[in-house]
Structure 1
């Protein structure tokens, strides 16, 4: 049997926020699948390390995704190094402060939206400009969140930004469909990465995420690699008719009804449900 060609062979992909967490996992997965990868992060040393460890060709670019010139720079790096740009995983994001709504500053709110909404907008715009110049289609995945689909009173700026990401994705999908550019989003649930675990003492950060993970339907938190596998699918031709969608990677968290005795992920005693599952297994 001839060896199968990797499904992303010949493609050039940019991954933002790729120095760690989901972005680094995405860069690794896309590289394993045959793509040449542009590893972008504001942490230049981290980006260099990830790029150096990838199995295939890669280049690292230091950049702040909320700055037009930095987005133009990573596109230029892709063209200078690989000659084209086909796939985009616009993943970079920040949580912002764990402040109550009444104490949240305008500066902090604006900073989160700058990275989490303006950053993907600039990346999407750059992608469409490049596809137009190349005369090709392409594929884009934006990292949304379980926070894009539901509400909570904490991390208000983050919640707002992740809802905005879906508006951007859907508008870009409407624009891109007729010209052969697919745009989708992935919505991770509880996936411990440096983005949240750095806030060790905050409710919703650090070890608290592990505790809450025991109450989702799959009874655990997810991994960056599990999210990256969905990203790779959405960027590949295997998802050729998937467009304008947000795919949850959350262990079932999004299906939970918080007003039923059997639901309420993060705030309910799972003993009765778990005992029942043991009896039927």
Structure 2
């Protein structure tokens, strides 16, 4: 059972078309939020909105490339125009990690990944913070980081660097906007059962049974909803004294 801890709130969730983003949008709607589900994939994004509405929730879809500042500004404006205000946001959109050693990294993909995973997160923060400051009353922003922002992985230098950057952005924004009662935190997922992870397993020829114990003290992959639950807590007033923090949802991976 999900309690209505976001009743009356308006939330933006980026990367909402699948995986952790879809689970977050659906969970936030269950918790009473009116949700703007934002993604580049319109077909899947609208499917998420339909599922929310079928379950009795309120949501709208907005197409956005978060690497483009004007589009991100438009996303925030759409949330306000549609639902009247903005209270919380989960900046989840990201690209699939790169897969080459540092001396061999693809410069074009490096630039694209950085433009989404790092710059895109920064742009979301920029425009969300501007709206929260302008309307007053505080708010909560959650950035989705990764265990790779704490324990580097081989053969994905761009992704590792970007997620380290997301952690730094989170702490900087928390420091700057705490006086306005705006909380900024991050969630660092570990091995979560998403299309991105399944694609990586297929790419490298691993099975869940042989790979999960290496990434989880619980011996299994996490579920997207388990990450969404952490974001929900941070977005809600239940975490009212938490800012500048990163919650690890990784079954103990970073504690080994």
Q: For this structure pair, what is the TM-score category when the shorter chain's length is used for normalisation?
A: over 0.9
Q: Which residue of 1 aligns with 2:77?
A: 76
Q: Deviation of residue 150 (structure 1)?
A: 0.9
Q: Which residue of 1 aligns with 2:229?
A: 229
Q: Which residue of 1 aligns with 2:220?
A: 220
Structure 2 Cα separation of the partners of residues 241 and 86 of structure 1 = 16
> Does the Cα contact within 8 Å between 2:141 and 2:185 map onto a contact in 1?
yes
**Structure 1 stretch displaced more, 97-106 or 241-250:** 97-106
Higher relative CO (Cα under 8 Å, sequence separation at least 6) belongs to 2
1:198 match: secondary structure: helix
Q: Deviation of residue 74 (structure 1)?
A: 1.1
Q: Which residue of 1 aligns with 2:36?
A: 38
TM-score, structure 2 normalization: 0.94
Q: Which structure dedicates a bigger proportion of its chain to helix?
A: 2
Structure 2 Cα separation of the partners of residues 180 and 66 of structure 1 = 27
> Does the Cα contact within 8 Å between 1:120 and 1:142 map onto a contact in 2?
yes
Q: Deviation of residue 105 (structure 1)?
A: 2.1
Aligned positions, number: 251
Q: Deviation of residue 5 (structure 1)?
A: 7.3
1:214 match: secondary structure: helix
Q: Which residue of 1 aligns with 2:139?
A: 138
Q: Which residue of 1 aligns with 2:126?
A: 125
Question: Among residues 2, 8, 11, which one is paired with 1:10 in the alignment?
Answer: 8
> Does the Cα contact within 8 Å between 1:169 and 1:183 map onto a contact in 2?
yes
Q: Deviation of residue 200 (structure 1)?
A: 4.8
Question: In structure 2, do the counterparts of structure 1 residues 5 and 154 end up closer, same or farther at CA, with 3 Å as the change threshold?
Answer: closer
Give runs of ≥4 in structure 1 deviating > 3 Å.
Answer: 206-210
Q: Deviation of residue 47 (structure 1)?
A: 0.8
Q: Which residue of 2 aligns with 1:244?
A: 244
Structure 1 Cα separation of the partners of residues 103 and 74 of structure 2 = 38
> Does the Cα contact within 8 Å between 1:15 and 1:23 map onto a contact in 2?
yes
User: Once the two structures are superposed, what CA deviation does each residue of 1:130-171 show, in whole Å capped at 9, x if it has no partner?
Assistant: 012212210000000010111122211101100000000000
Question: In structure 2, do the counterparts of structure 1 residues 222 and 123 end up closer, same or farther at CA, with 3 Å as the change threshold?
Answer: same
Q: Deviation of residue 208 (structure 1)?
A: 4.3
Structure 2 Cα separation of the partners of residues 113 and 142 of structure 1 = 15
Q: Deviation of residue 81 (structure 1)?
A: 0.9
Matches within 5 A, 1:123-272: 123-203=124-204, 207-208=206-207, 211-215=210-214, 216-256=216-256
Question: In structure 2, do the counterparts of structure 1 residues 19 and 221 end up closer, same or farther at CA, with 3 Å as the change threshold?
Answer: same
Q: Cα RMSD between the aligned structures?
A: 1.6
Structure 2: where are the runs of 5+ without partners? Answer: none
1:8 match: secondary structure: coil
1:147 match: secondary structure: helix
Q: Deviation of residue 218 (structure 1)?
A: 1.0
Q: Deviation of residue 9 (structure 1)?
A: 0.6
Structure 1 Cα separation of the partners of residues 153 and 58 of structure 2 = 41
**Structure 1 stretch displaced more, 98-107 or 33-42:** 98-107
